[in-house]
């Protein structure tokens, strides 16, 4: 394993120290291990708290700031945060109008956030939870852990964050978050596995002509192993899978995220976005807004995910609202 | 079981998951995200610290505090599951410095119930339940048959081991491994394996 | 080689198509192969044109927009653009106030931009050239090709771009660009080589415990091969090299860029920024502004560069000025 | 040399750099950025297209147009250097459909001067100059000694090959390879190698 780190056990804490040094607009609580807006709590504003394992940067710490999250709780690498830190963050940013927890649908994340929400309720806080489960590669079923939360998390955080910033009420902010999630589908490919500092070697090995299709963001293998194909074909397969689960028809508008998983260069992401745009144009779907880059990553995994969200006027309006975070900034 | 034995058991469990952390991580890399060993080691290191720093007067309290430490330090799926299991186990034990075999059976049930309530896994879903449940059954039957703790614990450890190995052929329906669909078959579940280690630790420290 | 591409020969053109589809604020001329602001030429504004091989994204195409570049000319991967496209871009964005060429110091880039500048002069345009050569790993000498242009290119483009946007004259814009370059030093490490689509395999192989120190951004090996060391030590060595060449003393202010080369996750970049901040704090150097992320990349190379620029009030003011490009955006 | 031979030479050079493109890229990967083969192939493909599309009346014009195509299509260091060399070579030749050996010597000098003016490389700097210069010297001496074109070209090709191989031990002082410092020694320069291919192509098409 070759990484720019010191002791593997200190990676998360040291990266948080770097984040704090880089961004005066953030307040990093090293002891409780959370990242909050420096100006939190904001009285009367619904607060948004998210979190999850580290290794997905800029998610979530890089999305803390005006117009998006009030706090983020990074766990160890690929390990969901613990209830204590979620509770501490929730209390730190609660401005009296309630707190929305944005939780990616993984057993660990769900349970830890749930425990934290119960503890917060015990202390008299109002918490609403928005569960993100956009990954269409996983067959949904009440008898399994269900679909994973991946790229759509960014859209949920941005759009719900914008509504909270402009004064949305607790129920409204949670509702738009759920609406964005329900309107979103994602599909990802990996060319290589990432390496966690603790494990010290890639999560899986792939021959030089094979890829994993339907991967998540935790270095786990995907739904199936396939031969590498031209980007054009991979994009078509991914869009077929997404549109099967989340139909978009002629005249619909979409928010599109082409997201690198950490080890894929931007030139490839743009090439892929070009292919996505071509397919959606064929199908008569308009791309209202897009984002191309590394936003919801899986350490150094070479790979990418595509997320489509069926857009409403309100979503587009909130997408365009100012946001000022380390990882996403416009209008500010 | 008295306070000293409870502590001895948890220390032995801590040693076992620490010694086998790499193996647990390797199992988790195959069908999960490769952190189970690190998670368990971090959690049981915290448990050990609590044991070092606390004077216990009741057996149940040992497990409640251990469970709280796991919840606070592990994260992931394993933290809440094991943490809640140990907390429920400890809370169910009668107050006082010593508990009997029947108390342990009842408490083991409470621990499993906590896991099921939180995680919703059924037997065969390829989770730690597939080691825990047969271990509990073996323990309960041994106790019903008049066995002493050492014998009941040895039977539970054997059953947990068999249960863990039986997960190899299962297709996961809960936890991260379920994302792999059919591809999860052929690999032993990491959580079932760590459950086995914990029951084995009890067998080891009670062995005559 | 595993990449999200179709035919290796089409990568640059197809990525440009994706860039065009993603950013309506850009005008991509596919035939002449350049990227320009959609609102160019802007009468009376000094125009900035840069370019270089592709594979360094978001540099340069991602830095086209208000407050930064007016046009960028992407060459083939790692190959400088040709005079024709530089000339076409120069003419397309000239608003009558002259054009500044920002050129990274590589033999190929220098010669192609020089030929283009001569052709532009023949057509009556005023062109000033700012050469960027910040890489302190290369010993400077008039008898060699001199130092490479790397991370400082971003700072030159941002700061000179801001001055041009607010009405700076041709000579002033070129002067501040040269001043930023002269005040900057960079040093880079690679953990792995990148793979160009055309070559199809990594530029070099490294054992699992060795790194290349003093690399550039074209996949070439560095000045020396070393054992991997903790990030803390690597940062100290890099800063020693930079500060030897570009001294910063107690009380000085710095702009700091911790730049990923494409395959290194953000969590490591932040960890490294934390180490940089610690060393500069020890030395009494204030970090006035910073940037942490993938900005001047080398395809999928795992590695990073550190750039320090000794800052003046004017540089900081211009750094803070609004910029609105795909790769860098604030105040807009 | 007449127009037909000039065209034949350039087509043979195009074939040679295309056939050896991978090898040129491999050499450039070792001490540069791994694009020289691709660059030369792209450039000479453009040259071939120009040859296909154009009626030439003068020998010089063939090379001027080829050089222009190289400048427009290659990029990198090789584009301007080879492009300017071919343009200077062609511009120095006397107008008309046929040129003599002495004209070729003068034109080769002009080509080398263009390379030196643009790139500033001296012999020993580990660049294409280290193949071009000995090739020119050999050609000039052969012509002075009364040799015919075939013989002079064969000598030039041999000298270019020797020069290219001699770059192996050199430490680069120009171009990308200079960034490697001492580490550039031990590798053959890609540009010197492609120069050798071009001279070899002339030897091949003139061989009796
Ligand atoms: N719903 C569940 N019920 C019971 N056990 C579960 C459940 N989900 C996961 N597990 C157990 O947790 C183990 C994984 O733990 P760990 O790797 O620490 O957490 P994570 O999956 O969050 O990375 C699995 O091997 C499995 O035994
Ligand atoms: N200053 C120079 N003078 C002469 N030849 C040079 C000079 N710089 C580079 N070269 C030649 O160019 C070759 C590299 O060409 P190429 O790989 O196509 O361009 P780049 O180096 O821009 O990638 C080198 O092998 C060398 O022979
Ligand atoms: Mg985990
Ligand atoms: Mg795990
Ligand atoms: Mg090149
Ligand atoms: Mg090259």
Q: Measured between CB atoms, does A121 come within 8 Å of chain B?
A: no
Alpha-carbon distance of A257 to C93, in angstroms, equals 31
Mean pLDDT of D33-58: 96
- Residue of D35, D173, D181 lying closest to C143 (CB–CB): D173
Nearest ligand 2 atom, CA C106: 22
Q: Measured between CB atoms, does A331 come within 8 Å of chain C?
A: yes
Residues 6+ apart with CB under 8 A from A286: A251, A252, A253, A254, A280
Q: Cβ(B125)–Cβ(B170) under 8 Å?
A: yes
Torsions phi, psi for C229 (to 5 deg): -130, 170
DSSP state of B121: P
Q: Is D35 in the pocket of ligand 2 (CB under 6 A)?
A: yes
Q: Is D189 in the pocket of ligand 2 (CB under 6 A)?
A: yes
Residues 6+ apart with CB under 8 A from A247: none
Q: Report the alpha-carbon angle C5-A153-A178, nearest 5.
A: 130
pLDDT at A8 (0 to 100)? 94
The encoded tokens of residue D194 equal 């492609």
- Chain-chain contact of A231 with C4 (C-beta, under 8 angstroms): yes
DSSP state of D122: P
| Domain regions of chain D by residue span | 3-206
- Chain-chain contact of D77 with C198 (C-beta, under 8 angstroms): no
Burial of A110 (0-12, 13-18, 19+ CB in 10 A): buried
Q: Cβ(B195)–Cβ(B131) under 8 Å?
A: yes
pLDDT at A142 (0 to 100)? 66
Burial of A265 (0-12, 13-18, 19+ CB in 10 A): buried
DSSP state of C105: S
Alpha-carbon distance of A193 to A201, in angstroms, equals 9
Best mutation target, D27, D31, D35, D82, to test chain C (most C CBs within 10 A) = D35
Q: What does the H/E/C string look like for chain A?
A: CCCCCCCHHHHHHHHHHHHHHHCCCEEEECCCCEEEECCCCCCCCCEEEEEEEECCCCCCHHHECECCECEEEEEEECCCCCHHHHHHHHHHHCCCCCEEEEEECCHHHHHHHHHHHHHHHHCCCCEEEEEECCECCCCCCCCCCCCCCCCHHHHHHHHHHHHHHCCCCHHHHHHHHHHHHHCEEEEEEECCCCECCCCCCECCCCCCCEEEECCCCCCCCCCEEEECCCHHHHHHHHHHHHHHHCCCCCCCEEEEEEEECECCCHHHHHHHHHHHHHHHHHCCCEEEEEEEECCCCCCCECEEEEEEEECCHHHHHHHHCCEECCCCEECC
Strands C184-190 and A47-54: unpaired
Q: Which of B8-22, D25-39, D103-117 has the lowest mean pLDDT?
A: D25-39
Q: Is D36 in the pocket of ligand 2 (CB under 6 A)?
A: yes
Residue C99: helix, strand or coil by DSSP? strand
User: Does residue C141 have a pLDDT over 80?
Assistant: no
Report which of A72, A66, A92 is spatially closest to residue A162, judged by C-alpha positions.
A66
pLDDT band per the 50, 70, 90 thresholds, residue C53: very high
pLDDT at A204 (0 to 100)? 86
Residue for token pair 């050798």: D196
Strands C99-104 and C47-54: parallel
Q: Cβ(B143)–Cβ(B196) under 8 Å?
A: no
Q: Which helix (H) or strand (E) holds C73?
A: strand C71-77
The encoded tokens of residue A153 equal 């998390």
User: Does residue C121 have a pLDDT over 80?
Assistant: yes
Q: Measured between CB atoms, does C196 come within 8 Å of chain A?
A: no
Other C-beta atoms lying within 10 Å of the C-beta of residue A281: 12
Q: Which of B35, B38, B78 to mutate to test the pocket of ligand 1 (most atoms within 8 A of CB)?
A: B78
User: Does residue A145 have a pLDDT over 90?
Assistant: no
Mean pLDDT of D96-115: 97
Ligand closest to the CA atom of residue B192: 1
Torsions phi, psi for C197 (to 5 deg): -55, -35
Question: Structurally, what CATH architecture does the domain formed by D3-206 represent?
Answer: Alpha Horseshoe (1.25)
Distance from first CA to last CA of chain D, Å, rounded?
Answer: 14
Alpha-carbon distance of D150 to A293, in angstroms, equals 58
Mean pLDDT of C149-178: 98
pLDDT at B23 (0 to 100)? 97
Q: Which of A216-225, B61-70, C109-118, C302-311 has the lowest mean pLDDT?
A: A216-225
pLDDT at C203 (0 to 100)? 83
Residues of A in contact with B179 (CB under 8 A): 137-138, 145, 148, 216, 220, 223
pLDDT digits (tens, 9 = 90+) for A146-186: 899 999 999 999 999 999 999 999 999 999 999 999 999 99
Q: Which parts of chain B are beta strand (E)?
A: none
D43, closest residue in chain C (CA to CA): C82
Torsions phi, psi for A135 (to 5 deg): -80, 105
Active site residue C60: no
Separation of A144 CA from ligand 3 center, angstroms? 17
Task: Take atom 17 of ligand 1 and give the residue whose Cα is closest.
Answer: B36
Report which of D29, D74, D70 is spatially closest to residue D51, judged by C-alpha positions.
D70
Residues of A in contact with C274 (CB under 8 A): 14-15, 17-21
Alpha-carbon distance of C114 to C108, in angstroms, equals 10
Alpha-carbon distance of B76 to A146, in angstroms, equals 16
Mean pLDDT of A233-245: 97
Alpha helices, DSSP H only, in C209-308? 231-245, 266-282
User: Does residue A205 have a pLDDT over 90?
Assistant: no
Q: Measured between CB atoms, does C30 come within 8 Å of chain A?
A: no
Q: Is D76 in the pocket of ligand 2 (CB under 6 A)?
A: yes
Strands A224-227 and A286-293: unpaired
pLDDT digits (tens, 9 = 90+) for A49-58: 999 999 999 9
Greatest alpha-carbon span in chain D: 48
Mean pLDDT of D134-154: 98
Other C-beta atoms lying within 10 Å of the C-beta of residue A182: 14
pLDDT digits (tens, 9 = 90+) for A280-299: 999 999 999 999 999 999 99
Active site residue A23: no
Alpha-carbon distance of B177 to B193, in angstroms, equals 14
User: Does residue C144 have a pLDDT over 80?
Assistant: no
pLDDT at C142 (0 to 100)? 66
As residues whose CB is below 5 A from the ion ligand 3, the structure lists A 78-79; B 33, 35, 76
Hey, which residues does C52 pair with through a beta bridge?
Answer: C74
Q: Cβ(A268)–Cβ(C5) under 8 Å?
A: yes
pLDDT at A129 (0 to 100)? 98
Torsions phi, psi for C69 (to 5 deg): -85, 150
Q: Is D131 in the pocket of ligand 2 (CB under 6 A)?
A: no
Q: Measured between CB atoms, does A220 come within 8 Å of chain B?
A: yes
Mean pLDDT of B169-186: 92
Mean pLDDT of A96-113: 97
pLDDT digits (tens, 9 = 90+) for C227-246: 999 999 999 999 999 999 99
pLDDT digits (tens, 9 = 90+) for B128-168: 999 999 999 999 999 999 999 999 999 999 999 999 999 99
For C264, what's the count of Cα atoms within 13 Å in the CB-facing half-sphere?
Answer: 33
Mean pLDDT of C263-284: 98
* pLDDT top residue among B131 and B179: B131
Burial of C226 (0-12, 13-18, 19+ CB in 10 A): middle
User: Does residue A212 have a pLDDT over 70?
Assistant: yes
Separation of D176 CA from ligand 2 center, angstroms? 7
The encoded tokens of residue A301 equal 């995994």
pLDDT digits (tens, 9 = 90+) for B80-126: 999 999 999 999 999 999 999 999 999 999 999 999 999 999 999 99
- Chain-chain contact of B29 with A199 (C-beta, under 8 angstroms): yes
| Domain regions of chain C by residue span | 12-182, 184-319
Report which of B173, B197, B172, B202 is spatially closest to residue B187, judged by C-alpha positions.
B172
Q: Cβ(C111)–Cβ(D81) under 8 Å?
A: yes
Q: CATH number of C12-182: 3.40.50.10440, 3.40.640.10, 3.90.1150.10, 3.40.718.10?
A: 3.40.50.10440
pTM for this model (two decimals): 0.95
Catalytic residue among A23, A60, A101, A218, which?
A: A218
Q: Cβ(B21)–Cβ(B37) under 8 Å?
A: yes
User: Does residue A140 have a pLDDT over 80?
Assistant: no
- Chain-chain contact of B179 with A216 (C-beta, under 8 angstroms): yes
Residues in chain A: 332
Alpha-carbon distance of A22 to C280, in angstroms, equals 13
Residues of B in contact with A145 (CB under 8 A): 173-176, 178-179
pLDDT digits (tens, 9 = 90+) for A3-15: 999 999 999 999 9
Q: What percent of chain A has pLDDT over 90?
A: 92
Alpha-carbon distance of C80 to C62, in angstroms, equals 17
Q: Measured between CB atoms, does C226 come within 8 Å of chain A?
A: no
Q: Which helix (H) or strand (E) holds D201?
A: helix D190-206
Mean pLDDT score of chain A: 96
pLDDT at A186 (0 to 100)? 98
- Residue of A114, A139, A198 lying closest to B35 (CB–CB): A198
DSSP state of C60: T
**Residues C7-31 as b or e (16 or more Cβ within 10 Å = b):** ebeebbbbbbbbbbbbbeebbbbee
As residues whose CB is below 5 A from the ion ligand 5, the structure lists C 78-79; D 33, 35, 76
Residue for token pair 């931007």: A266
Alpha-carbon distance of C61 to C58, in angstroms, equals 6
User: Does residue C143 have a pLDDT over 80?
Assistant: no
CATH number for the region A184-319 comes to: 3.30.1180.20
pLDDT band per the 50, 70, 90 thresholds, residue A203: confident
Q: Measured between CB atoms, does C226 come within 8 Å of chain D?
A: no
């Amino acid at each position: 394993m070759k990484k720019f780190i010191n002791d593997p056990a200190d990676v998360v804490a040291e990266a948080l120290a770097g984040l704090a040094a880089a961004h005066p607009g953030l307040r990093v609580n090293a002891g409780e291990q959370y990242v909050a807006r420096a100006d939190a709590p904001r009285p009367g504003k619904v607060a948004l708290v998210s979190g999850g394992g580290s290794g997905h940067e800029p998610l979530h710490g890089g999305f803390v700031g005006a117009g998006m999250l009030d706090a983020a709780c990074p766990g160890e690498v690929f390990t969901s945060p613990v209830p204590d830190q979620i509770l501490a963050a929730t209390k730190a940013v609660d401005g009296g109008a309630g707190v929305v927890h944005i939780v990616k649908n993984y057993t660990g994340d769900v349970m830890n956030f749930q425990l934290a929400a119960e503890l917060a309720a015990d202390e008299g806080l109002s918490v609403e939870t928005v569960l993100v489960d956009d990954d269409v590669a996983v067959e949904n079923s009440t008898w399994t852990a269900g679909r994973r939360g991946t790229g759509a998390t960014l859209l949920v955080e941005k759009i719900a964050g914008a509504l909270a910033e402009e004064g949305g009420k607790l129920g409204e902010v949670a509702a738009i978050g759920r609406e964005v999630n329900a309107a979103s589908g994602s599909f990802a490919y990996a060319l290589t596995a990432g390496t966690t500092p603790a494990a010290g070697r890639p999560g899986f090995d792939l021959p030089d002509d094979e890829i994993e299709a339907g991967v998540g963001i935790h270095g786990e293998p995907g739904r199936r192993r396939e031969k590498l194909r031209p980007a054009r074909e991979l994009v078509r397969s991914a869009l077929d899978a997404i549109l099967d689960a989340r139909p978009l028809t002629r005249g619909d508008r979409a928010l599109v995220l082409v997201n690198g998983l950490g080890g894929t260069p931007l030139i490839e992401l743009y090439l892929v976005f070009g292919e996505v745009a071509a397919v959606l144009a064929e199908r008569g779907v308009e791309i209202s807004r897009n984002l191309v880059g590394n936003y919801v990553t899986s350490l150094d995994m070479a790979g990418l995910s595509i997320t489509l969200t069926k857009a409403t006027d309100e979503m587009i309006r909130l997408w365009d609202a100012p946001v000022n975070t380390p990882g996403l900034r416009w209008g500010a | 079981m008295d306070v000293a034995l409870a502590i001895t058991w948890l220390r032995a469990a801590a040693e076992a998951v620490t010694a086998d952390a790499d193996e647990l991580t390797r199992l988790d890399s195959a069908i999960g995200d490769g952190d189970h060993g690190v998670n368990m080691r971090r959690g049981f290191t915290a448990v050990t610290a609590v044991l070092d720093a606390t004077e216990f007067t009741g057996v149940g309290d040992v497990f409640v505090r251990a469970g709280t430490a796991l919840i606070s330090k592990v994260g992931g799926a394993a933290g809440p599951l094991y943490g809640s299991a140990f907390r429920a186990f400890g809370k169910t034990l009668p107050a006082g410095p010593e508990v009997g075999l029947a108390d342990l059976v009842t408490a083991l049930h409470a621990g499993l119930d906590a896991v099921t309530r939180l995680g919703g896994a059924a037997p065969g879903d390829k989770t730690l339940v597939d080691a825990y449940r047969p271990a509990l059954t073996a323990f309960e039957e041994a106790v019903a048959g008049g066995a002493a703790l050492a014998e009941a614990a040895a039977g539970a450890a054997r059953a947990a081991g068999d249960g863990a190995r039986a997960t190899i052929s299962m297709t996961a329906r809960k936890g991260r491994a379920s994302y792999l669909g059919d591809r999860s078959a052929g690999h032993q579940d990491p959580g079932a394996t760590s459950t086995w280690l914990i029951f084995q630790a009890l067998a080891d420290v009670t062995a005559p």
